[in-house]
Structure 1
Amino acid sequence: MKKIYISVFLLLFAFTPTVLAHSNLESSVPHDGEVITENLSTLTLTFNTVIEVTSSFKLTNESGQDIPMESILVNNKDMIGNLSSPLEEGKYIVNWKIIGGDGHPIENSYSFSVDTSGGNNAKASSKPILKENMTEHGDHIVENIEKEAPTSNNFLFVTAILLVMVALGTSFWLLKRGKK
């Protein structure tokens, strides 16, 4: 009987789904360490899983002063921040906090620099970049939220049920085998 419990225990932990991994920053514009040579009006952070709408980020300069954002929008895997005004030259730090698809709060940061002194100063767009599922109504940006089914949770649920079924099948097989 002890062998059955050990077998069931090993079967349950033999398959570690990648769904249990935490959400991570997949890409950003600007990206970590980048030197921006044009005026910047929008920051975009893209994560590897859907993030909660309560996720946010703060932009600070190298002396720790907060840089005001006009708006921060969360849309599925993307978090988009529109700047109130173009950034001055210098180093900036993006401190982000999210609640990922797995429900865990995660925070991290990255930095980039602005150096527009190269003589190639492009004028920053006064209009924010609109992503898919976003529309502009006058001075406001409205996010058309289409709730996605939490596929990672569905996968985890199906995997757990399959593992339980395999464990039960193995247990019955071992019990039947032991009675002969």
Structure 2
Amino acid sequence: MKIVLLSILAALFLYVPNAAAHTYLDTTNPEDGEVVTEPLQSIALTYAGKIEQGSIFKVIASNGEQVETSDITLVDGVLTGSFDNPLPNGDYTVQWNSISEDGHPLSGEFSFTVNAPETEVAVSEENVEQAEVEDSAQVDVPESEPVNVENDKNNTPLLIVGGMLLAIILISIIILLARKKTK
């Protein structure tokens, strides 16, 4: 009987479903594969847990050049990068590298396309100057609601450990019952 109780106790201590899971990228704005039809001046990565300072991302245009971010901030598991001017129309890839609260490195990438309407440029010199002033002004970007990115959590090790514990418990019960029959 002691073996059974010890086996059950060991199983309870070893089975910690989500506490053992690492932080992962939960959502992005824009989301992977999205076609953005409004001027885009910031990108946000939301994590399922806390991440550490030093977490970064870079934005790569389709021509391979890196787009400079003017500011990257980390607040409550949301890593946000902003740009001085809205991103021009085109395809972009975001490559991110983060550090989870427990020190494990995280990395990945996602892509999106910007296809925002372009402003008309007036022909007269006065209108050209006005357009240049307007282009240099920052544009408020309405925040769209983030959409879940497919979780890349892998529960296989947890299932293997659980199966092993179940087998140990069953074997312990069989051995205990066999000993009782022989006595």
Q: C-alpha distance in 1, partners of 2:70/2:63?
A: 21
- Classify 1:124/1:104 alpha carbon distance in 2 versus 1 (closer, same or farther; 3 Å): farther
Identical residues among aligned pairs (%): 30
Deviation at 1:84, TM superposition (A): 2.6
Q: Residue type of the partner of 1:12?
A: F
Q: C-alpha distance in 1, partners of 2:140/2:99?
A: 25
Please state whether the residue corresponding to 2:28 is helix, strand or coil: strand
Q: C-alpha distance in 1, partners of 2:31/2:136?
A: 18
Q: Residue type of the partner of 1:19?
A: A
- 1:41 maps to 2:53: no
- Classify 1:70/1:101 alpha carbon distance in 2 versus 1 (closer, same or farther; 3 Å): same
Please state whether the residue corresponding to 1:21 is helix, strand or coil: coil
- 1:113 maps to 2:113: yes
Pairing of 1:1-180 with structure 2 (within 5 A):
3=3, 9-13=10-14, 15-117=15-117, 126=138
> What stretches of structure 1 of length at least 5 have no aligned partner?
130-180
Q: C-alpha distance in 1, partners of 2:26/2:38?
A: 23
Q: C-alpha distance in 2, partners of 1:42/1:125?
A: 15
Query: In 2, are the aligned partners of 1:39 and 1:86 still within 8 Å (CA)?
Result: yes
Q: Residue type of the partner of 2:106?
A: I
Q: C-alpha distance in 2, partners of 1:125/1:31?
A: 26
Deviation at 1:85, TM superposition (A): 2.2
- Residue aligning to 1:160: none
Deviation at 1:8, TM superposition (A): 5.3
- Residue aligning to 1:156: none
Query: In 2, are the aligned partners of 1:86 and 1:124 still within 8 Å (CA)?
Result: no
Q: C-alpha distance in 1, partners of 2:12/2:36?
A: 51
Larger CA Rg, structure 1 vs 2:
2
Between Structure 1 and Structure 2, which shows a larger proportion of strand residues?
1
**TM-score, normalization: structure 1?**
0.60
Query: How many residues are treated as equivalent by the alignment?
Result: 127
Deviation at 1:75, TM superposition (A): 1.1
Deviation at 1:117, TM superposition (A): 4.3
- Residue deviations 1:106-155, cap 9 Å, x none? 001111001124879xx8972788xxxxxxxxxxxxxxxxxxxxxxxxxx
Deviation at 1:82, TM superposition (A): 0.7
Query: In 1, are the aligned partners of 2:38 and 2:117 still within 8 Å (CA)?
Result: no
Please state whether the residue corresponding to 1:18 is helix, strand or coil: coil
Please state whether the residue corresponding to 2:49 is helix, strand or coil: coil
Q: C-alpha distance in 2, partners of 1:95/1:49?
A: 19
Deviation at 1:103, TM superposition (A): 2.3
Q: C-alpha distance in 2, partners of 1:38/1:124?
A: 17
Deviation at 1:88, TM superposition (A): 1.6
- Classify 1:127/1:72 alpha carbon distance in 2 versus 1 (closer, same or farther; 3 Å): farther
Deviation at 1:3, TM superposition (A): 3.8
